[in-house]
């Protein structure tokens, strides 16, 4: 009974999709007569398409032909044999980058009785594959490899193969591909390799985990490059104690070695007085890697209506690699109305909640241009209202409200402010 069950699992690749937090019914992928079996499956996603690859081998330790199959416009296309005939393979992995789909695969070389490592690529909506060699002359056994993609579009490959004429002659290696050329081989570990590895990436950093054959311990290495420039820098007006100040917000850099860094973000500012020349850029403050807002309390001396302040960010990681500058944003004080307590925004506005992610409370600020009915409501990802924070007439001005989500489960939510013809929505994240 166990043997028959194992064969059935190999024979049909079945996929399920999580749609609206519900698994849809499973469907066969290798149900086409030209591809009766589905071993060592791999999957990649591109715009409007799902790409799968599989090897038509009945048993886990046998070689077979490599097939790919696309799902587009809701329909599975006819499987395509990419590696076939005498060029049988043990393993194949797909990855999409830019306008291309790439396949990394090993391939049996009957003349040397060893495995070679190769790559193929095609346009996402094409069936014409090209490719070449990565490494020739591997062992006769099952070799392993992993592939990932970094933000700059490069592919990164980690693999365990034989290097003829060298001692030790088996190790774990890294190579990258920029869409045109493969980099030189870099040896991660030259001890005898046990054939198990893992590879993943975030931004332009990537991380490798492997187990050398000489011991039972896992080894880890990180390729650490400069962080990405901060993104989505924006400026709003923050009211506090009867005064107003520019408040900067931005998206978190998702590199782990940025998030844990103290004083990771540098806040830069320059200003122009009454349309004159710009001052030099200078650092006016810092924020930790787990912070994404900065209130400029030093700006009060620039509150003449003709003055302008401009801001930009840089970020450094744990090893002090420094990013490029973000796009800049500016505050021109002629856009604001002077009142006895300072300046108020002469427009409607909805700010990003802070903190975000939060647990269990967060603050939401908004601005109203003219008096009228204001509603501020929170919805779950299904669009169901889970909280009504404001539902009353408000005078023009800036407002702040606290949202307590202690009764809600962790997840992604959305909050919407409505006043007259103005309506705006932002996302918040509850992490418990």
Digitized pLDDT (tens) for each residue of the chain, 432 residues in all: 333 333 333 345 555 555 556 776 677 777 655 556 677 889 999 988 999 998 887 655 567 889 999 998 888 888 888 988 776 888 899 999 999 999 999 888 878 777 888 999 999 988 899 999 988 766 545 568 899 999 999 999 998 876 555 555 677 889 999 999 999 989 888 776 656 788 999 999 999 998 876 667 888 899 999 999 999 999 887 777 666 778 899 999 989 999 999 999 999 999 887 667 888 999 999 999 999 999 888 775 455 555 788 999 999 999 999 999 999 998 876 554 333 334 444 467 788 888 888 999 998 888 787 788 999 999 998 889 999 999 999 877 677 889 999 999 999 999 999 998 889 999 999 998
Q: Which residues contact 219 (CB under 8 A, 6 or more apart)?
A: 189, 209, 210, 211, 212
As a whole number of angstroms, the distance between CA 184 and CA 429 comes to 42
What pLDDT, on the 0 to 100 scale, is given for residue 365? 82
Residue 149: beta bridge partners?
Answer: 155
As a whole number of angstroms, the distance between CA 253 and CA 266 comes to 13
Cβ(426)–Cβ(232) under 8 Å?
A: no
Residue 17: left if φ>0, alpha if ψ -120 to 50, beta else—which one?
A: beta
Buried b (16+ CB within 10 A) or exposed e, 176-186: bbeeeebeeee
Q: How many residues does the chain have?
A: 432
Q: Which domains does the chain have, with CATH numbers?
A: 40-223 (2.120.10.10), 227-346 (2.60.40.10), 347-432 (2.60.40.2550)
What pLDDT, on the 0 to 100 scale, is given for residue 338? 37
Q: Mapped to the 3 state alphabet, what secondary structure does 327-388 carry? A: CCEEEEHHHEEEECCEEEECCCEECCCECCCECCEEEEEEEECCCEEEEEEEEECCCCEEEE
Q: Which residues contact 347 (CB under 8 A, 6 or more apart)?
A: 335, 367, 369
Question: Could you tell me how far CA 229 lies from the centroid of its own chain?
Answer: 14
pTM confidence score: 0.67
Cβ(79)–Cβ(53) under 8 Å?
A: no
């Amino acid at each position: 009974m166990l043997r028959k069950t194992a064969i059935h699992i190999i024979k049909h690749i079945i996929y399920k999709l999580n749609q609206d937090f519900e698994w849809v019914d499973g469907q066969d992928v290798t149900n086409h007569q030209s591809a009766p079996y589905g071993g060592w499956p791999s999957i990649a996603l591109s715009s409007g398409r799902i790409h799968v690859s599989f090897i038509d081998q009945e048993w886990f330790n046998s070689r077979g032909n490599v097939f790919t199959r696309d799902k587009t416009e809701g329909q599975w296309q006819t499987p395509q044999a990419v590696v076939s005939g005498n060029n049988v393979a043990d393993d194949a992995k797909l990855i999409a980058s830019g306008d291309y789909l790439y396949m990394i695969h090993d391939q049996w070389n009957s003349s040397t009785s060893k495995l070679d490592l190769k790559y193929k690529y095609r346009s996402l909506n094409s069936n014409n594959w090209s490719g070449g060699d990565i490494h020739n002359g591997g062992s006769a056994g099952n070799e392993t490899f992993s592939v990932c993609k970094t933000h700059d579009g490069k592919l990164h490959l980690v693999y365990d193969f034989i290097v003829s004429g060298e001692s030790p002659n088996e190790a774990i290696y890294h190579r990258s591909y920029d869409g045109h050329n493969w980099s030189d081989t870099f040896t991660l570990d030259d001890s005898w390799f046990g054939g198990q590895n893992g590879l993943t990436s975030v931004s332009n950093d990537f991380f490798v985990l492997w187990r050398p054959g000489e011991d039972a311990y896992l080894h880890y290495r990180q390729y650490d490059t400069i962080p990405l420039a901060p993104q989505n820098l924006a400026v709003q007006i923050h009211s506090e104690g009867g005064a107003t100040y520019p408040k900067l917000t931005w998206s978190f850099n998702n590199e782990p070695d940025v998030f844990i860094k103290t004083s990771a973000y540098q806040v830069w500012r320059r200003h122009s007085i009454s349309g004159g020349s710009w001052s030099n850029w200078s650092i006016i403050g810092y924020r930790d890697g787990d912070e994404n807002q900065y209130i400029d309390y030093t700006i009060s001396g620039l509150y003449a209506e003709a003055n302008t302040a401009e801001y930009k960010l840089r970020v450094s990681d744990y090893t002090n690699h420094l990013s490029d500058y973000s796009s800049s944003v500016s505050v021109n004080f002629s856009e604001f109305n002077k009142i006895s307590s300072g300046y108020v925004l002469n427009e409607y506005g909805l700010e990003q909640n802070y903190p975000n992610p939060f647990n269990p409370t967060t603050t939401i600020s908004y601005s109203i241009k003219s008096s009228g009915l204001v509603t501020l409501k929170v919805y779950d990802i299904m669009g169901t209202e889970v909280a009504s924070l404001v539902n009353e007439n408000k005078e023009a001005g800036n407002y702040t409200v606290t949202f307590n989500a202690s009764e809600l489960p962790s997840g992604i939510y959305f909050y919407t402010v409505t006043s007259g013809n103005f309506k705006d929505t932002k996302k918040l994240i509850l992490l418990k």
